[in-house]
Every structure is written in C-alpha cells, then in structure tokens.
C-alpha cells in the first residue's frame, strides 16, 4: 500500500520505518526540513533501538522517502497517518493546533483527488476530537463528506520508548475506530500479519481506549509506590509484597473488577481500605491514591442516587440490595445507603432480594436486618412481581439471574436504572445505565 505519514517525531518515525520494512511504499511528511533530510539520507531523526537500521535499509530499497510537500504526499498515497504531537496546554487540555493544521493541509490536497483516501489519526486525542476537529476540518478543507468520499479512522498506538519497534510488531491489541467499513478494511490490511487481538469499533471508543490504558498505567505506578512506602514504614520489603501480589492473575492482574458499575461494598473492601489508610496516618504517611478510594466509591453511590431521583417518580422498586448477587450480606452495602436516603426524602419503596428474604428468616444476617435496619425490613416483599407491579422507577441493584427478564416486562411509563448492566439489551428511553 502507498502510505503518507504526517509528523516524523517519535510515533511517526517508528511507524514509517516499520511500515516500509513490511514492504509498503511510505512517504514521511514534516515541515522540519532537517528531519526530512535525515530520512532521505537514510538516517533516523529519533533515538530508538533498531529504527536507525530499518530507515537506512528501506531508504536504500526505495520504500521510504520524506518531503515537506503535502500535496505530493497525499496524491501519491492511498492512506495518510497523522502522527503529530498533541501537547498539554497550561490548563491541562490538549493543544490540537498541529492536528487541525495537518487536517487542513490533507483536506485541501484531497480536493484534487478522485480516488477514495483514508485519513488515520494515530495522535493521542480526547474523545470527541475526531468528530469535533478532525472530521469537520477535513470536510471543510476538501469539500467532501467523511464516510462517503473519503474515510476516517482512529488507530491509537501502544508504543513504549526504548522498545517501540518490538511493541509495534507485538502490540497487546490493535484498535481501529472507523467512520465506515471501507476505511476500516483498508486499515485492517496494514495489520493482517499482526499476532494480536483486532478490535473494530467507533472512533470515540478508540479515542477513549488510549486514555484508559495510560491512566491505568499511571494508577498502577502510583499504587505500587504507595504500597511500597507503607511497607517500608512498617519494616517490610515492598518489592516482596508486590511480587507476591502479581502472582495472582485470577483477581489482581485480570479483567476481574474492571467493569464499570456501582460502588463496592461488603465486609472486606471498605473495612480494609479504611484500616490501611488509618495505619498510614499513624505513621505520618501521605497516600493520596489510597485515600481517594473511599471518597470515589461514595461519589458513585451519590451518582446512583441522583439517577433515581432525576427520574421524578415517587414509587421506587429495588431489585437486589445485598452488596452483590448470590449473597445475603448487607454489611456496608451501597444499596442500603441509597435506600436510606430515599426513605429520608419521602419516597415510597418496595425491596426484593431472594437471598436477603431468606436471611431475614434463618440466616446470619437476621439480627442485622431485623434490629439494625428494621425500617428497611418492613419494605421487603416476597417476589419480583410485587416490585414490578408497584414501581414507577425500577432499580436493578445486583446481577441476580432472575432480574435479566426485567427489561422485557416493563409497562408503559416505567423507568429502569441499571447499576450492574443486567443485560446487553437495552430498552431505549425507558432504560438508563449508570456507566453506559
């Protein structure tokens, strides 16, 4: 394929060298004449393992060249990759001026091009940047329509400095956010030999994935450092602790707990986070990340409560209020917090949870239910039908299997607030998920 790459910095130079090494005809584009000259001399404009040799060989083989001429690059290629910088502004927002300028240049060049051209953004941009900046700028400059006359994709890179060439050929995943199927298919062809999961999605999701990855990496570093600091303060080797921690790939390093939803609760997580942060305070240690966990969790409780109240309905039914499905444990259940707030604000409630109903009669939680939260126990009903018949707003509080039929049984006017994503099927205007 004939490919033009805009921006010969870190991502652009690595992409150019790797794509040319794969046999594609690559044209690098940069306003910096020095970078262009270095490429054309077979030299790398960046310091990165293996890339120097790749650029030297592909220039020698006639597969890679560089230019400052945008029109030449666009007219000589089928696909343009945008790899320009998106630095931070003083307020933390992204500076997309380089992206906007390159899109204007590519768009003007596409005016004179009859064939279908695909523009791929590899630059890291916040969700909405493609829809609000890239696509409108390209359309205005070209006089053409995205998804019809030309294609647009977002293709985030997952390259680490020092191992970028290895990472290019061994990515954890390949993510393509596409404006249309034809554009997506053309980009897929670049990665057909990659041994990695290929995900095709919308452009906004692709944009968000990159930020999710980097934020998670930052959180992991901060978490390990805070555990290390606390460990050292109590005379423990933090490396030993984290080495053992990382051996657990069923829960600790896994997809478990990584689905957005409602707040955590139960007898372990709140208590143990509270105890750990208290211990740090007694040692005069600041643990900003760990100290933020419980306040963040409480904000999710408040968000769920606000969603219910915003429906403007007085009769509310709660389906599932133990802290998770399959248990009768109400200790620090965030749903109990929500229920008590609603009671205090004068809402009429009906509550159903099969396991909690059984516990009220025979289980270990009997004393807690009848003596500590008797105002809640009086609102409990024996079956789900009683809730569905009564409620104007139905809250799905845990993922019990029996609740999966709720969306099929809604009456006109009923609203659902789903805190657990009970089903992939959604019911339009009657349905509202907390994080989806």
Residues at the binding site are: 30, 35, 86, 124, 158-161, 210, 257-261, 265, 271, 324, 331
What proportions of the chain, in percent to the nearest 5, are helix, strand and coil?
A: 45, 15, 40
Binding site listing for NAD(+): 30, 35, 86, 124, 161, 271, 331
User: Which helix (H) or strand (E) covers residue 343, if one does?
Assistant: helix 334-344
Strand partners, 120: 81, 153
**Radius of gyration in angstroms for the set of CA atoms belonging to the chain, rounded to a whole number:** 28
Q: Write phi, then psi, for 425 (nearest 5 degrees).
A: -80, 135
Q: How far apart are CA 244 and CA 242, in angstroms?
A: 5
Pair 63, 23: CB distance under 8 Å: yes
* Residue of 339, 407, 425, 354 lying closest to 384 (CA atoms): 354
Report which of 262, 283, 379 is spatially closest to residue 325, judged by C-alpha positions.
262
CB 4 within 8 A of CB 79: yes
- Tokens standing for residue 391: 């409620």
Give how far the C-alpha of residue 368 lies from the chain's centroid of Cα atoms, to the nearest Å: 39
Report the alpha-carbon distance of residue 417 to residue 414 in Å, rounded. Answer: 10
Residues within the annotated binding site for substrate?
A: 158-161, 210, 257-261, 265, 324
Q: What is the DSSP string of 130-191?
A: IIIIIHHHHHHHHT--BTTTEEEEE------TTSHHHHHHS-S-EEEEESSHHHHHHHHGGG
Q: DSSP characters for 225-253?
A: HHHHHHHHHTT--HHHHHHHHTT-TTTTT
Burial class of residue 103, CB neighbours in 10 A (0-12, 13-18, 19+): buried
153 touches 78 (CB < 8 A):
no
- Parallel, antiparallel, or unpaired for β 315-319 and 393-396? parallel
Question: Are 200 and 119 spatial neighbours (Cβ–Cβ below 8 Å)?
Answer: no
Catalytic residues: 268
Task: Give me 139's structure tokens.
Answer: 């359309």
């Amino acid at each position: 394929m004939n490919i033009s790459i805009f921006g010969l910095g870190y991502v652009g130079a690595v992409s150019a060298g790797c794509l040319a090494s794969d046999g594609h005809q690559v044209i690098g584009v940069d306003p910096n004449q020095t970078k262009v000259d270095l490429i054309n001399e077979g030299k790398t404009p960046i310091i990165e393992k293996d890339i120097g040799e790749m650029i030297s060989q592909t220039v020698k083989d006639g597969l890679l060249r560089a230019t400052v001429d945008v029109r030449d690059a666009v007219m000589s290629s089928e696909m343009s990759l945008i790899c320009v910088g998106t630095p931070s502004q003083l307020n933390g927002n992204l500076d997309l001026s380089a992206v906007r300028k390159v899109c204007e240049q590519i768009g003007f060049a596409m005016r004179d091009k009859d064939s279908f051209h695909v523009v791929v953004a590899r630059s890291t941009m916040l969700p909405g940047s493609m829809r609000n900046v890239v696509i409108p700028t390209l359309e205005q400059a070209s006089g053409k329509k995205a998804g019809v006359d030309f294609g647009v994709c977002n293709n985030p890179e997952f390259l680490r400095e020092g191992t970028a060439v290895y990472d290019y050929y061994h990515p954890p995943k390949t993510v393509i956010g596409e404006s249309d199927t034809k554009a997506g298919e053309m980009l897929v062809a670049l990665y057909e030999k990659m041994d990695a999961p290929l995900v095709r999605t919308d452009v906004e999701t692709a944009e968000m994935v990159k930020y999710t990855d980097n934020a998670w990496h930052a959180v992991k570093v901060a978490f390990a450092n805070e555990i290390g600091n606390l460990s050292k303060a109590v005379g423990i080797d933090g490396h030993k602790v984290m080495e053992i921690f990382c051996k657990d790939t069923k829960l600790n390093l896994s997809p478990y707990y990584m689905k957005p939803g409602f707040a955590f609760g139960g007898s372990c997580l709140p208590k143990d986070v509270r105890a750990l942060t208290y211990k740090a305070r007694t040692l005069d240690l600041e643990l900003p990340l760990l100290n933020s966990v419980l306040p963040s969790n409480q904000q999710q409780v408040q968000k769920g409560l606000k969603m219910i109240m915003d429906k403007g309905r007085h009769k509310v039914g709660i389906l599932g209020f133990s802290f998770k499905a399959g248990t009768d444990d109400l200790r620090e259940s965030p749903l109990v917090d929500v229920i008590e707030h609603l009671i205090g604000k004068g809402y009429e409630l009906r509550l159903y949870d099969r396991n909690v109903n059984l516990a009220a009669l025979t289980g270990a939680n009997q004393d807690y239910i009848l003596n500590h939260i008797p105002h809640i126990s009086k609102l409990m009903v024996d079956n789900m039908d009683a809730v569905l018949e009564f409620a104007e707003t139905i809250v799905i509080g845990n993922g019990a299997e029996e609740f999966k039929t709720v969306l099929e049984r809604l009456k006109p006017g009923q609203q659902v607030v789903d805190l657990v994503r009970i089903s992939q099927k959604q019911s339009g205007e009657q349905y509202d998920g907390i994080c989806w």
